[in-house]
Every structure is written in structure tokens, then in C-alpha cells.
Amino acid sequence: MVTLLNENYHVCTGCALLCDDIEVVTGSGRITEVKTACRKGVARMKGCSEPMSPTVDGQEVDIDNAIGAAAGILSNARSPLVFGLGNSTNMAQKKAIELAKRIGAVIDDTSSFCQGPTLEAIFNENIRSTTLDDVRNKADVIVYWGADASNSHPRHFSKYSYFPRGQERQRGWEEDRIMITIDIRRSHTAKISGDKFYQIPLQADAEFIDALIDALSGKVPKVSFGFDIKRILELANILKKARFGTIFVGLGLVYSIDNMDPVVKLMDKLNEMSNFHLIPMVGHYNMRGFNQNLFNETGYLNRVKFEKGDSTDVQHGAEFSIVETLNNKAADAALVIGSDPLSSLPRVIAEHLLNIPVITIDPCETFTSRKAKVTIPSALSGVECGGSAIRMDGVEVKFEPIIETNRPPDEEILTRIMEAL
Amino acid sequence: MEFGKFLAAPEYKVTIVTYRDIFQSAVMEGSRFSEEYLKLSAVIRMDAGDIKKLGVKEGDTAVVRNDSGKVIVRVGSSGYDASHQGIAYMPNSPWSNVLLSADTGGSGVPRYKGIEAVVSSAKGESVTGVDGFLENTMKH
């Protein structure tokens, strides 16, 4: 559990780094200034310019009517889908899981098409992970693999990985840390790595891992693409000597491999000779919380189907992913919480949402909300409501509301929907 | 739709890799419906040599299409020194998602970082607007 270092500090819910050193200035019921946060965090905390209103069929209604209409849709649905929750607190997520059980829904989140495999390997203890605090205090070798933290988590380097003078790394990046980037392009993150940037072709990650494992095993590495073998040997040598190494995995790596086997194999090899950990670069502030909460409840972190009226009947598999559920037109209603699938999913797949009644719970208007049958505005968590969340490294972070709102938190909306079922 | 015009222009096959851009992500927090979000999202960043082959200039519009759909976006240079002929980059957004296939081989994971598409000049055409995404279908 993270303890805030200063009573004036707040937590940013802009991403799963959950920066806990944010100072704000408030006025007229809004946050007018945000200090310390990154560009995205500032934008998140200041709020959107298009707050959502309670509506049914495009007509503004009071929130009780919107909640009643949502309950009506979910009561009548034979195969409802519950999706999102990466921007909800732990308590709201637990409530959504309870609701999914009650109505016999498929429940899934964005991890289904991003960091799910990495988190699954960590939850099942196939890969050793660590905390960002240990990275700050101990890590001497840091690898960003298919991850561009400069754009996804801009404070990652300064708060935890590369620049801090941690307990055992008092000379910081100048002498005490080596930062490596492996990617298909010279991203902003790769630029920070300087000559420790290893550029590989698209979809070549598994082959590069094999070559690296060979190099670590004392064999001559081989790759089918043009790459200076001496550089692979040099990289293997750095990794081998690490006293506390951490690989930060981005979607560039996750999308490039069919499953986590190559990564597990590499981690096992590295841990035969040094001390390596892996942390996924989780995007949404509490996606990992959802995965942990569902895993605790069912043994699966996403892609779950509950059977109505039988809380012990839990099915899991790719067919219960949001992508395949919509692709197979298997949902006849959808409850979307803090997410915008019409914007983030392949358009041809998301279009099924236009043919079924959709309920959105969100502080702001989204592409999905504009086409939804029912919209229910909620408080922006971390700003307008408190709670707790799980950081990308699995550490729980608590936060308090900063400003008041009359919009209820997700948890309360879900409770009221359940009461009205 | 003046489709003949597009067919007359040189076409170029690319593999599109989507990526995150902090400026675009920050603007999205404020509004997904803003001009600024459109400007930062509706862009394809290509190898300088590929832009030349297309016969367009940076800032011109291009149509990017495949069996899944079609969008008109602006052409930009990737700015990378190393040549990456045939590989183009788009910020992860509704615009790039129009080009994603429904076929995931049953895995449930779309190919966000490996979209096969064809690019051609759309000189004089406007970028696909936000309203397009609120239509009931974008399949052409």
C-alpha cells in the first residue's frame, strides 16, 4: 500500500503509474491547476469539456430514470456483456463482477486485447515481477521492450526507473543504471537509451529472444535479419551482469508473439545467471485491479462468462473476449463502464454495438455514449470520488476525492442498478 | 464517391503499426470530438521515400483502405533516419481502427501493430471527420 508523502499530495488516475505526488489548485468547484503531473495527467484531472448527461434514447432524463432504464435492459437481456472498468475503483469493479454474476453476463476488459497475457503469467507465477519502488531503489539494468514510456507513461523514467537516485543507486543514470530499449522504431524512449537501442524488424521479437537466449547460453546467436551479432553478445553481457534487472513490457512485444512462452523462457534463462523481473506497462489506471479482482473471484483475469442463477458456473476463453463476443454477435445488450469500445476496437467489430441496446457509465461523452440507449454520468475517480486502485506493478494505491460533485461514483450507480433489477 | 480518382493515383502497399502519442492522448482526455484530436489522430506517418513514391507531400490527404474499411487521413513523415520502406505508423485511434480486420484467428486480439493496407493520394479530399464514426456503418 502506498502512503502519500505529503498531506497536500493527490493521486493522478491518468494511467496505471498512479503518481502519488500531485498538487492541485481548485476554484469554483473545478481543478484549475495541476502541478507535477504529466501532460495526460493534467488533462485527466482537469476534466473533459463534454461531460455526459443522463439520457434515455437521446433524451435527457433524471438519473433515477436512466438507472431504471439500464436495469430494464439488463433484466430483459438473455446474453448481456459487461465491459470496461479499467477506469473504475476496486470497489466499483467488485460490484460490477457481482452484477455480472447476477445477470449471467460475459465480463471482459481491455486487458483482453492488450496486457492480459503478461498479467496472467505474473498472476500464475510463471514470471517473476517486482515493485516500482524496488526498481527505483535497486535496479541497475532497465529494459523497455516494445514500450514507449515517453508517450504512454511520461513520468516512468523520472519517478521510478532511470533517473532517480534510489537507495542503492545513488549515482543515478549517469553511472548506476543502464537503460536499454528494444523496439522496431527509434521511439522517444529509444532516444533516451542512446547507443543501447536495439532496433529489430516488425514481428521479429521471438526470433530476437531466441538469439539472446543463445548468447546468454554461450552459443553464437543467429538471426535471419541483418543485425550485428556483436551487439547481441554485448546486450547479453549487460543482462548477465545485472544485479537487479527489470524488463518493462509494452504492447510492441505482446502483439508480436503468439503467447508468453518466449518471454517466460528468456526470464528463466536470465534468472539462472542474474536477477531479473518483469513489469507490464499497463495503461488504464486500474486495469490491473480489475484483473486481480476477477482473478480472486474466478481464477481468471478476463474473458469470463457467468451462468445466470448459478454463481459457481464460470466459463472462460477467447470466445468470451469482447472482440469475439461482438464478432459472433453473441451479446444482446452491453453495459460499458469507463470505456469507449466504439473508439478503441476494430470498427467492423464494434459496429455490433450499434445493433444492441448499450448502457454507458462514464464521466464524459464518448463515441460509444453518443450511440448508447442509456447514458449515466459518473464521478471522475481520483478527482470527484475516492477509492483504491492497483498500480501497474500490483501495489495498491488509495485516493481521496479532491472536489465535490453531485454525480455518483460508478460503485453507487452499479449498486442502484442491481437494486432496480 | 469519386472512386475513379483514387484508382488513377499510384497505390502503395503498407503495413501499419499503431502507436501512442502523448499529445494525442492528452487531447483525448479533454474531448474526443475536438478538431485537435482529429488533427493528431487522422494521420499516417510514412518513410520519406514512400511519400515521394505516392506523389504526395507532407500535409496532403491520402486514402488508406483495405477489406475492412477506408479512411482519409493526412500524410506525415515519420521523422526516422533509418529507412522503413513499406512500414507506416498511425496513432492508435478510431481512424486506425477502421482498418483493423474482424478476423483475429479466434484469439480475440486484433492486429493493432500489423495492419495490411493500401495508400493512395486523396488530394483535395477532406480528412474523414468524427461524424463518420457516429454513422451506423463505415464499411465501404
Q: Strand runs (DSSP E) across A43-96, as ranges? A: 55-56, 59-60, 80-84
Give how far B51 is from chain A: nearest CA, Å.
18
Q: What CATH number did the domain enclosing B36 receive?
A: 2.40.40.20
Do A46 and A13 form a contact (C-beta atoms < 8 A)?
no
C-alpha cell at A338: 469507463
B35: phi then psi, degrees, rounded to nearest 5: -60, -40
Find which of B28, B66, B116 to mutate to test the A interface (most A CBs within 10 Å of its CB).
Answer: B28
Strands A59-60, A310-316: parallel, antiparallel or unpaired by DSSP?
Answer: unpaired
Do A376 and A413 form a contact (C-beta atoms < 8 A)?
yes
Taking only residues 140 to 199 of chain A, the set having a beta carbon closer than 8 angstroms to any beta carbon of chain B reads 148, 150-152, 154, 184-187, 199
Which residues in A lie closer than 8 A to residue B23 (C-beta atoms)?
A: 39
- Chain-chain contact of A255 with B101 (C-beta, under 8 angstroms): no
What is the rounded average pLDDT of the residues B90-105? 96
* pLDDT tens digits along A54-72: 999 999 999 999 999 999 9
C-alpha cell at A267: 526470464
Residue B138 counted as domain residue:
no
Query: Domains (ranges, CATH) in chain A?
Result: 50-110+285-383+406-420 (3.40.50.740), 116-280 (3.40.228.10)
* pLDDT tens digits along A133-163: 999 999 999 999 999 999 999 999 999 999 9
> Which one-letter amino acid corresponds to residue A291?
N
C-alpha closest to that of A13 among A93, A88, A114, A96 = A88
Q: What is the ipTM of this complex?
A: 0.95
Q: What percent of chain A has pLDDT over 70?
A: 100
**The residue to which cell 492486429 is assigned:** B111
Domain that holds residue B47: 10-125
Other residues' Cβ atoms within 10 Å of the Cβ of residue A225: 9
Query: Would the pLDDT of B136 be above 90?
Result: no
Report the sign of the C-alpha dihedral through residues A273, A279, A280, A281, in that order.
negative
- Chain-chain contact of A348 with B100 (C-beta, under 8 angstroms): yes
Q: Strand runs (DSSP E) across A36-157, as ranges? A: 55-56, 59-60, 80-84, 106-108, 141-145
Residue B102 counted as domain residue:
yes
The total of structural domains in chain B comes to: 1
C-alpha cell at B24: 494525442
Residue B5 counted as domain residue:
no
- Chain-chain contact of A48 with B94 (C-beta, under 8 angstroms): no
* pLDDT tens digits along B40-71: 999 999 999 999 999 999 999 999 999 999 99
Query: In chain A, count of helices (H) and strands (E)?
Result: 19, 18
| DSSP class of A169 | B
* pLDDT tens digits along A222-261: 999 999 999 999 999 999 999 999 999 999 999 999 999 9
* A328 interface with B at CB cutoff 8 Å: no
- Chain-chain contact of B109 with A113 (C-beta, under 8 angstroms): yes
* A202 interface with B at CB cutoff 8 Å: yes
Which residues in B lie closer than 8 A to residue A110 (C-beta atoms)?
A: none
Give how far B110 is from chain A: nearest CA, Å.
7
C-alpha cell at A114: 492488450
Taking only residues 80 to 119 of chain A, the set having a beta carbon closer than 8 angstroms to any beta carbon of chain B reads 112-113
Other residues' Cβ atoms within 10 Å of the Cβ of residue A153: 30
Residue B132 counted as domain residue:
no
Which residues in B lie closer than 8 A to residue A150 (C-beta atoms)?
A: 22
Closest alpha carbon within chain A to B140: A348
Task: Give the model's pLDDT for residue A163.
Answer: 97
Which residues in B lie closer than 8 A to residue A48 (C-beta atoms)?
A: 29-31
Find which of B20, B70, B103 to mutate to test the A interface (most A CBs within 10 Å of its CB).
Answer: B20
Find which of B15, B18, B24, B25 to mutate to test the A interface (most A CBs within 10 Å of its CB).
Answer: B25
**The residue to which cell 506523389 is assigned:** B55
C-alpha closest to that of B31 among A60, A363, A383 = A363
Over its C-alpha atoms, chain A yields an Rg (Å, rounded) of 22
State the pLDDT confidence band at B4, using cuts at 50, 70 and 90.
very low
> What residues in chain A have per-residue pLDDT under 50?
none
Residue B51 counted as domain residue:
yes
Cα-based distances in Å from A13 to A3, A48, A362: 16, 14, 14
Q: 3-state SS of A214-248? A: HHHCCCCCCCCCCCCHHHHHHHHHHHHHCCCEEEE
- Chain-chain contact of A367 with B26 (C-beta, under 8 angstroms): no
Do A177 and A141 form a contact (C-beta atoms < 8 A)?
yes
Give how far A177 is from chain B: nearest CA, Å.
25
Over its C-alpha atoms, chain B yields an Rg (Å, rounded) of 14
Residue B136 counted as domain residue:
no
How many interchain CB pairs under 8 A, A with B?
141
- Chain-chain contact of A42 with B80 (C-beta, under 8 angstroms): no
Residue B72 counted as domain residue:
yes
A396: phi then psi, degrees, rounded to nearest 5: -80, 135
For A181, the enclosing helix (H) or strand (E) is strand A178-183
Find which of A87, A156, A327, A347 to mutate to test the B interface (most B CBs within 10 Å of its CB).
Answer: A347
Return d(Cα A145, Cα A148) in angstroms, integer.
8
